[in-house]
Amino acid sequence: MESNNKLKRGLSTRHIRFMALGSAIGTGLFYGSADAIKMAGPSVLLAYIIGGVAAYIIMRALGEMSVHNPAASSFSRYAQENLGPLAGYITGWTYCFEILIVAIADVTAFGIYMGVWFPAVPHWIWVLSVVLIICAINLMSVKVFGELEFWFSFFKVATIIIMIVAGYRHYCVGNWQRRAAHRHS
């Protein structure tokens, strides 16, 4: 009895592009940026640009390595092949630790956000609910997972655009009385 269990592509280019874009827009952009901008002002944007350029250069280098030596593995394999087994080991476990920390930070931020709107509900209930939702999404088929990730990423991008437009509108239109008061005093 021969089984037909073969790998097939379940994600479209649209799914992959928006998943990459949504991954770049993390919870920290919403949660951490507010305090950073409040303390440092618009110079935070310069820091984000510098960090983004550094990340872009690293990702381009990783892309070149994966085109030069395609393998079904993690990027820790490239560290192992080019720098030695210790570098591969450390890279793999560092990445694993980083993913765990990011996941914990994301669900904690979700609990904090929901605590603002629903202060009577304990944060742990929100954290547990988002963990269960994420587990349920990851257990679905690849096509459903890709479609859900597409829409989650779309909402992230739309939220960023709405925040930029609202901030610009507030700066240009919302402050007109304050600017006029400064001119006449």
Give the tens place of pLDDT for each residue, 94-114.
999 988 998 888 888 888 889
pTM comes to 0.66
Which tokens go with 71? 């393998």
Domain boundaries, the chain: 30-70
HSE-up (13 A, CA, CB side) for residue 49: 5
176: pLDDT confidence band, cut at 50, 70 and 90? low
Q: What values do phi and psi take at 8, rounded to 5?
A: -145, 155
SS3 content of the chain, % helix, strand, coil (to 5): 80, 0, 20
Q: What is the pLDDT of residue 175?
A: 64
Is the alpha carbon torsion for 89, 92, 93, 98 positive or negative? positive
84: pLDDT confidence band, cut at 50, 70 and 90? very high
Short-list 26, 29, 58, 21, CA closest to 45:
29
Which tokens go with 14? 């649209």
